[in-house]
Structure formats: structure tokens, C-alpha cells
Amino acid sequence: MMVLLLFYLFSQASSENHALTVFVTASSGLSNILDVQIYTMVDDNSDAFCDGSNKTVKANSDWVKAFFHDNHELLEFYRNQCFEHLPNLFRGMIAVLNENFKQPEGNHILQMILSCALDEETQNVKAVLQFGYNAEDFMILNLDNLTWVALQPQAISIKVAWNADIAGLMFHRKLLTQMCPQWLKGSLDIMKSIPPRTDHPSLSLLQRLPFSPVSCHATGFYPNRALLFWRKDGEEIHENVDHGEILPNNDGTFQMRVYLNISSISPEDWRRYDCVFQLIAKEEKIIKLDEASIRTNRERTSNITIPIIATVITFVLVSIAAAAGYVLYKRNTAHGTGFEVISVT
């Protein structure tokens, strides 16, 4: 029977549609070592992370910390899943897959996605349970007819075994269509008693080289419902602007960048531009396009000018000395006199 991860973690939501998603990734680099990592997300926010190799569980939401504090048994269950059960389970699956795919031992990645989405208005539930192997879809559960579907020929033997496990299939259906939505509903009630978390970011301007685009970088904000954009004369602009993705930080906060190509902007017009960060549609921070505020990783001109000049002068002096020595050598040779080579430093 295929036992799945049960993870009771949720986060605040602001719309009528909510989704709980659990990502499990297991990678095998050595035959007896398996690295298992579990990410739990609600409405695109990373709320918890478990690192099976380092034996650490991290809660990124205030309500999750409170939930773990009041549910020690559930925390211990989650630790067991991350540190003991899933590594053993996935290790056996990877061994079977390596044999079916006729692959040698080495670095292989097995992934699982478990997700349920709930429409609070209609109470409709959509759910998915899917496996991937080495970045390719491998197996998916069809809830309509309650059967596993092999997405690759090598998965057929596993599909047959899992479809023969009727108790396992019934458990998976209950997990996805009843238990997961119930956890999601319960989380919405719990979070009402906890003040919403909002972390304000640091905002900075970065530039690699003088001709590179200027990057407006916001980091350390939460939740991830944020906007970052460039303005000119108070109006948002899109020309010569490139947006980066919102990325998670290790502490549960997020970061993002937006780039402005300044090649066509004259220095006197820089003061007309600024970068704006908004969190949940509320203006939070503004930073103006100012050369003095731009952080770079290149050396200051004053720091490199002296070594360059010294090098040039040294080269010129050595060249002159070499030329003079050559002329003197030719002259002495013509008069039949000896010539002693002297090193010039």
C-alpha cells in the first residue's frame, strides 16, 4: 500500500478560493542516503519546510507555529514522515524505478505533488495526486474512476500493483476529497484569531556594470501578494522594463526584482524615475533613481587608476631601456668591442 504524507498545515487566505499543496522531493546521490525535502504551501505562500537530511522542521507562518505548539502529536507525526517513513518509502520506489528504467545508481529525483483546492462559495473541491521521476511525469491518480494512470511505460508494473490495492485507493480518495478540504476549512477559522503577518521589505538599487540595467530589489516581505514597478513622473511604465519572478527566502519571506534599461535615459532625467513596492495593493516603499544610491560590485575608478598608470609607465620605461640597450649593442658590435648584458629593473 502506498502511504502518503499527511501534513496539517495552512496559511491565511484572502479570496474565496484556497488551495493546500504539499511538494515532496527525494533525491538519491548515494545508494544508502536519500535527501527528502517537503514544502507545504497555501495560496502560493510557503508556510512550512522540512529537511529530512538535516532533521529540521521550519514553520514560516505565525499560525503554523501556534498550531504546532498546540498539537505536539501532529508535529511528531510530521517529523516521522519527513525523517523516517518517507525516506524509506521513496528509497524503495527509486530502487524499483531504477530497475524498470534500466538506469545505473546515481543521482535520481522522485517528486510527489498532493493538492486540494476549495471554492468556499460552491464548496466544490478539486484535487490532484501525482508523481514525477527525473523531471518527467510518472504517475497520476484519476479520481473519477479511482485508478492510477501510468504516464510512462516503465510505470505500468507499479500502476498494476497500486490499482490492485483497493484499500489504498479508498484511502487516497478520502485523503484528497474529504480530509484535505477539511484541513483547509479548519485553517481559515484558526487564522481569524491570529493577526495577519506582514513583513516589510528592504528596497535597494543594484547594477553590475555602468551599461547594465538598474535592478530594483525588494527582499524580506510577506506575504507574496506584492507588486514592484518603475514609474516616470509618477506614472507606471512598461517600456525598457523587465520583471523578475517572486522568489522565496529561507526565512519564509520573499524577494523580487524589476529591471530598468537606462541606456536611453539622460542623466538629467534620472530624477524623474522611481521604483515603487506595494504589499497587498498598498503603497509601502519608494526609492528614486539616483546614482549615489546604486550599489555595484565593480571597483571604484579611483582605486584602479593608480595601478593602471603605474603599469603603463613601467611598460614604457622598460621599452625605452630595451630599445636603448639594443642600439648600444649594435654600436659596440660594429666597433668590435664586447658588450655586457645588464639586467634593468
Contact present, 223 and 271 (Cβ < 8 Å): no
Q: How confident is the model at residue 243 (pLDDT cuts 50, 70, 90)?
A: very high
Same fold, 17-191 and 202-296: no
Domain residue extents for the chain: 17-191, 202-296, 313-345
pLDDT at residue number 40: 78
Low-confidence winner among 122-126, 267-271, 318-322 (lowest mean pLDDT): 318-322
pLDDT, tens digit (0-9, with 9 covering 90-100), for 160-176: 999 999 999 999 999 89
SS3 assignment, position 173? helix
Q: Using CA atoms, how far apart are residues 181 and 122, in angstroms rounded to an integer?
A: 13
pLDDT, tens digit (0-9, with 9 covering 90-100), for 284-296: 799 999 988 898 8
- 122-133: average pLDDT: 89
pLDDT at residue number 60: 74
Instruction: Tell whether the model's pLDDT for residue 334 goes beyond 50.
Output: no
**Helix-then-strand count for the chain, H and E:** 7, 18
pLDDT at residue number 173: 93
**Grid cell listed for 9:** 498545515
Q: How confident is the model at residue 313 (pLDDT cuts 50, 70, 90)?
A: very low
Residues paired with 41 in a beta bridge: 21, 46
**Grid cell listed for 179:** 480530509
CATH of domain 17-191: 3.30.500.10
Contact present, 65 and 47 (Cβ < 8 Å): no
Instruction: Tell whether the model's pLDDT for residue 10 goes beyond 60.
Output: no
- 5-29: average pLDDT: 62
pLDDT averaged over the chain?
A: 76
Q: Which span out of 312-316, 319-323, 335-339 was modeled with the highest average pLDDT? A: 319-323
Greater model confidence, 235 or 133: 235
CATH of domain 202-296: 2.60.40.10
Greater model confidence, 99 or 259: 259
pLDDT at residue number 149: 96
Residues across the chain: 345
Pairing of strands 235-236, 241-243: unpaired
pLDDT at residue number 327: 42
Whole-angstrom Cα Rg for the chain = 31
Q: 238 CB contacts (<8 Å, ≥6 apart)?
A: none
Instruction: Give the H or E element holding residue 36.
Output: strand 33-42
Q: Using CA atoms, how far apart are residues 320 and 313, in angstroms rounded to an integer?
A: 11
Q: Using CA atoms, how far apart are residues 191 and 65, in angstroms rounded to an integer?
A: 11
Q: How confident is the model at residue 345 (pLDDT cuts 50, 70, 90)?
A: very low
Instruction: Give the H or E element holding residue 191.
Output: helix 180-191
